Structure 1
Amino acid sequence: MTSTLSRAIVNYPNRFDPGVLSELPEHLQETIQRRNNVLGPGYTLIYKEPVEFVAGHGAHLVDRDGNDYLDAYNNVPCVGHAHPHVVEAVARQMAAVNTNTRYVQESLVDYAERLLATFPEELSKISLACSGSEANDLAVRVARYHTGGEGIIVTRWAYHGITREVASFSPHLGTGSPLGPNVRLIDPPDPRLAAPGSTLAEHMRKQVRDAIDDLERHGYRLAALVTDCAYTSDGIFTDPVGYMHGVVEEVHGAGGVYIADEVQSGFARLGDSMWGFSRHGVLPDIVTMGKPMGNGLPLSGVVFRPEVSDEFGRNVRYFNTFGGSSIPVAAGAAVLDVFEMENVQQRVLENGTALRAGLEEITKDSAYVAEVRGSGLYVGVEIVKDRATLEPDRARTEDVINDLRDRRILINGTGQSANVLKIRPPLAFTSDDVTRFLETFAEVAKDRL
Structure 2
Amino acid sequence: MILKSLFLPPSSSCKLFFSNDPLKIVKAKGQYMYDENGRQYLDCINNVAHVGHCHPDVVKAAYEQNQLLNTNSRYLHDNLVDYADRLSKTLPEKLCIFYFLNSGSEANDLALRLARQYTKHEDVIVLDHAYHGHLTSLIDISPYKFRNLEGQKEWVHVAPVPDTYRGLYREDHEDSVTAYADEVKNIIEHAHRKGRKIAAFFVESLPSVGGQIIPPAGYFQKVAGHVHKAGGVFIADEIQVGFGRVGKHFWAFQLQGEDFIPDIVTMGKPIGNGHPLACVATTKEIAAAFAATGVEYFNTFGGNPVSCATGLAVLDVIEKEHLQAHATEVGNFLMKLLKDQQIKHPIIGDVRGCGLFIGVDLIKDQVERTPATAEAEDLIKRLKEKCILLSTDGPGRNVLKFKPPMCFNMEDAKFLVETIDKILTDMEKECLNH
Tell me the TM-score normalized by structure 2: 0.93
1:69 aligns with 2:41: yes
For 1:25, the equivalent position in structure 2 comes to none
Structure 1's 110 and 177: CA in aligned 2 closer, same or farther, altered over 3 A? farther
Aligned: 1:301 with 2:279: yes
Question: 2:235 aligns to what?
Answer: 259
Counterpart-to-counterpart distance in 2, 1:299 and 1:90: 12
| 1:343 alignment partner AA | H
C-alpha distance after superposition, 1:291-334 (max 9, x if no partner): 11110011000000111221212423110111111111111011
Secondary structure, aligned partner of 2:307: helix
Seen in structure 2, the aligned counterparts of structure 1 residues 76 and 259 have a Cα distance that, compared at 3 Å, is: same
Asked if 2 retains the 8 angstrom alpha-carbon contact of 1:382 and 1:420, the reply is yes
1:102 to 43, 68, 74: 74
Unaligned runs of 5+ in 2: 429-434
CA positional deviation for 1:231: 0.8
Counterparts of residues 368-387 of structure 1 (less than 5 Å): 368-387=347-366
1:262–1:287 Cα contact (<8 Å) kept: yes
Residue 181 of structure 2 corresponds to 205
Q: Which moved more, 1:291-300 or 1:210-219?
A: 210-219
Q: Kindly indicate whether the alpha-carbon contact (under 8 Å) linking 1:167 and 1:177 is maintained by their aligned counterparts in 2.
A: no
CA shift digits 1:412-445 (9 cap, x unpaired) = 0111111111111011112222122122222212
Query: Residue 280 of structure 1: which of 231, 246, 256 is its match?
Result: 256
Q: Distance in 2 between matches of 1:180 and 1:298?
A: 30
Q: Counterparts of 2:236 and 2:4 in 1: how far apart (Å)?
A: 38
| Alpha-carbon separation, structure 2, partners of 1:412 and 1:32 | 28
Cα 1:426–1:33 shift into 2, 3 Å: farther
Q: Which one is further off, 378-387 or 215-224? A: 215-224
- 2:7 is paired with a residue whose SS is helix
Q: Does 1:232 align with 2:208?
A: yes
Cα separation, 1, equivalents of 2:6 and 2:80: 41
Please name the residue that 1:216 is paired with: 192
For the structure 1 residues 33 and 435, does the alpha-carbon distance in structure 2 shift closer, same or farther, using more than 3 Å as the test? farther
CA distance in 2, matches of 1:40, 1:141: 34
Which residue identity is paired with 2:58?
A: V
Superposition CA RMSD, Å: 1.7
1:18-97 equivalent positions in 2, closer than 5 A: 34-37=6-9, 41-47=12-18, 48-97=20-69
Contact 1:125/1:306 (8 A) holds in 2: yes
Letter in 2 for 1:175: N
Larger displacement relative to structure 2 (276-285 or 435-444)? 435-444
Q: SS of the residue aligned with 1:95?
A: helix
Contact 2:177–2:216 (Cα < 8 Å) also in 1: no
Pick which of 405-414 and 215-224 moved more: 215-224
Correspondence for 1:268 among 235, 244, 255: 244
- The match for 1:440 is 419
- Counterpart for residue 182 of structure 1: 155
Q: C-alpha separation between the residues in 2 aligned to 1:385 and 1:33? A: 43
Q: CA deviation at 1:363?
A: 2.2
* 1:242 Cα deviation from its structure 2 partner: 2.1
Tell me the distance in 2 between the aligned counterparts of 1:67 and 1:32: 26
> In the aligned structure 2, how far is the partner of 1:272 from the partner of 1:417?
29
Distance 1:31 1:122, change over 3 A: farther
Contact 1:55 1:62 in 2 (8 A): yes
Q: Which piece of structure 1 moves more, 431-440 or 326-335?
A: 431-440
Q: How far, CA to CA, are the matches of 2:128 and 2:4 in structure 1?
A: 34
| Unaligned runs of at least 5 residues, structure 1 | 1-29
**Cα offset, 1:264, TM superposition:** 0.9
User: 2:337–2:417: 8 Å Cα contact kept in structure 1?
Assistant: yes
> Within the alignment, does 1:341 sit opposite 2:317 as a pair?
no
Picking from 130, 137, 143, the partner of 1:158 is 130
Structure-2 residue corresponding to 1:429:
408
Give 1:50 deviation, angstroms.
1.1
The aligned runs of 1:125-164 (5 Å cut-off) are: 125-164=97-136
- Between 1:435-444 and 1:407-416, the stretch displaced more is 435-444
**Does structure 2 conserve the Cα–Cα contact (< 8 Å) formed by 1:125 and 1:304?**
yes
1:217-267 CA-partner distances (Å, limit 9, x unpaired): 333200000110111111111253222221110011111000000001111
Report the Cα distance in structure 2 between the residues aligned to 1:387 and 1:406, rounded to whole angstroms.
29
- Quote the offset at 1:213 in angstroms: 1.8
Asked if structure 2 preserves the Cα contact closer than 8 Å seen for 1:123 and 1:285, the reply is: yes
Aligned residues of 1:190 and 1:200 also touching (Cα < 8 A) = no
2:342–2:349 CA contact under 8 A, matched in 1:
no
1:21 matched residue in structure 2: none
TM-score, normalising length from structure 1?
0.90
Matched, 1:353 2:326: no
Pick aligned residue for 2:378 from 376, 387, 399: 399
- Asked if structure 1 preserves the Cα contact closer than 8 Å seen for 2:32 and 2:40, the reply is yes
